[in-house]
């Protein structure tokens, strides 16, 4: 494996220069983030190269405070002259913004001091030619699943590396290199003039944690083939299982409802929910910022505040919110180290795999695709276009499409019957499939 190619010390010098100049021109406080990254992305379709992208990105983001006024500016030029121009621009903006007594850096005593390595950086030393061959292999395995798979939307491989430094005028400075690699494939199956598509992909910090190209292609093909012969179903109320990749969306909705911005704007269906039971006993969520190789792992948040491992939801009871320093001040609380979002949400799995979860459900709907964005964050009303499979006697009977599922998140969370151990790990929210007691299912 190649050595880390990034000049962390160089970024630290840029950070120091930026903060010193901000102080020189009169900023009462300042914070900056400077970053550099590279990436390769290729896609093939039907065995031929379709796109090849090689990128190198760099950027500086500056936020300055002039008393109770705030200004921000960005630049992709890291020369010292451009840095000073960017700082000047942020300071000029601060002159004209409305004052807010809650503006400012997070409290100094909350800054992170533990900077242990979370193993977030792993180089994939792969040539473009090898990436192309790997993508072709992935697509070929999808097409080989069946003669009914007649077309492809392509297979793609991506690999990116980057490094960043966050620093503020308290003297805090922290940063580290990261990487992200992925492989994906989407194909089309046809039968009696009816066409269906599906996909699969895998992503990870380190290449050795990726699923193989062959496995990704095979799953993409198998999932696509299984959707042929889809039918509509009659409007009804029935149990619903959200397949693990979609179950992450339910968790995201819950997290949005207990996040600072929605709370202080009074635009959440879970206002004043700390200490209250909002979901069934089955729902237990840990937030783990220190997960090795985790998608959202970090020792500090976007404001330099030390992150913390915590039991966020305990048997349906909300133990805490997700707050930045500003949203915390708006609510009369303290930041939770979540400026920038949640850090690795781990939903506790039950002891059933998806097959056993289907048997527990007996009769109902397994949802494998959702369409549109149908959640009213204020009321919790939920309505999405969907497709998946109709289940009877715990077995898949036939695929279904052109349906709408509806409910209210307040009830949906309380109707969680079981959570599978088929854990989906492509992202910052790790959960198995989730079985809900009942939802409204309408034919479109």
pLDDT (tens digit, 9 = 90+) per residue, 39-68?
A: 999 999 999 999 999 999 999 999 999 999
pLDDT digits (tens, 9 = 90+) for 63-114: 999 999 999 999 999 999 999 999 999 999 999 999 999 999 999 999 999 9
Q: Does residue 400 fall inside a structural domain? A: yes
**Which residue, 198, 225, 252, sits at the end of a domain?**
225
The alpha-carbon radius of gyration of the chain (Å, integer) is: 24
**Predicted pLDDT at 443:** 87
Same domain, 294 and 391: yes
Q: Does residue 236 fall inside a structural domain? A: yes
Same domain, 327 and 357: yes
Q: Residue range 366-386: average pLDDT?
A: 95
The pTM of the full predicted model, rounded to 2 decimals, is: 0.93
Q: Which two tokens stand for residue 127?
A: 């040539």
**Which residue, 199, 225, 251, sits at the end of a domain?**
225
Same domain, 288 and 352: yes
Same domain, 182 and 252: no
Environment class of residue 400 by beta-carbon count within 10 Å: exposed (0-12), middle (13-18) or buried (19+)? buried
pLDDT digits (tens, 9 = 90+) for 178-237: 999 999 999 999 998 899 999 999 999 999 999 999 999 999 999 999 999 999 899 999
Same domain, 309 and 414: yes
Cβ neighbours of residue 405 closer than 8 Å, sequence gap 6 or more:
240, 365, 367, 382, 383, 384, 386, 439, 440, 441, 442
Q: Does residue 33 fall inside a structural domain? A: yes
- Strand (E) or helix (H) holding 252: helix 244-257
Structurally, the chain folds into a number of domains equal to 2
Q: Does residue 2 fall inside a structural domain? A: no
Same domain, 182 and 259: no
**Which residue, 174, 207, 225, sits at the end of a domain?**
225
Domain coverage including residue 373: 230-444
Coil, helix or strand at residue 321:
coil
């Amino acid at each position: 494996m190649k050595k880390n190619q990034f000049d962390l010390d160089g970024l630290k010098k840029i950070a120091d220069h930026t903060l010193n100049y901000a102080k020189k021109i009169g900023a009462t406080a300042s914070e900056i983030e400077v970053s550099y990254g590279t990436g390769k992305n290729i896609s093939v379709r039907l065995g031929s190269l379709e796109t090849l992208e090689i990128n190198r990105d760099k950027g500086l983001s500056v936020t300055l405070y002039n008393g109770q006024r705030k200004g921000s500016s960005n630049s992709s030029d890291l020369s010292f002259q451009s840095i000073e121009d960017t700082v000047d621009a942020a300071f000029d903006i601060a002159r004209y913004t409305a004052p807010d007594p809650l503006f400012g850096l997070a409290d100094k005593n909350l800054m992170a001091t533990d900077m242990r390595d979370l193993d977030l950086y792993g180089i994939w030393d792969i040539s473009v030619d090898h990436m192309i061959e790997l993508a072709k292999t992935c697509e070929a395995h999808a097409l080989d699943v069946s003669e009914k798979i007649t077309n492809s939307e392509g297979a793609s491989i991506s690999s990116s590396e980057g490094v960043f430094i966050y620093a503020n005028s308290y003297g805090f400075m922290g940063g580290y290199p990261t990487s992200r690699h992925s492989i994906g494939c989407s194909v089309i199956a046809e039968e009696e003039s009816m066409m269906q598509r599906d996909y699969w992909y895998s992503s990870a910090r380190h290449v050795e944690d990726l699923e193989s190209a062959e496995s990704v292609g095979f799953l993409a093909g198998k999932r696509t083939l299984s959707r042929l012969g889809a039918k509509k179903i009659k409007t009804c109320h029935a149990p619903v299982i959200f397949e693990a990749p979609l179950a992450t969306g339910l968790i995201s909705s819950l997290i949005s409802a207990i996040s600072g911005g929605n709370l202080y704007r009074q635009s959440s269906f879970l206002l004043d929910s700390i200490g209250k039971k909002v979901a069934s006993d089955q729902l237990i969520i840990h937030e783990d910022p220190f997960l090795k190789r985790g998608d959202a792992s970090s020792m500090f948040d976007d404001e330099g505040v030390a992150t913390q491992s915590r039991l966020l939801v305990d048997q349906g009871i909300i133990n805490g919110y997700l707050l930045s320093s500003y949203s915390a001040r708006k609510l009369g609380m303290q930041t939770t180290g979540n400026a920038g979002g949640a850090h690795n949400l781990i939903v506790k799995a039950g002891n059933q795999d998806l097959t056993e979860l289907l048997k527990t459900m007996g009769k109902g709907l397994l949802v494998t695709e959702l369409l549109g964005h149908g959640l009213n964050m204020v009321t919790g009303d939920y309505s999405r276009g969907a497709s998946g499979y109709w289940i009877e006697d715990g077995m898949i009977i036939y695929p279904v499409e052109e349906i709408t599922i509806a409910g209210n998140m307040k009830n949906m969370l309380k109707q969680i019957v079981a959570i599978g151990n088929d854990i989906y790990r492509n992202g910052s929210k790790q959960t198995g499939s989730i079985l809900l007691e009942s939802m409204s299912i309408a034919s479109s």
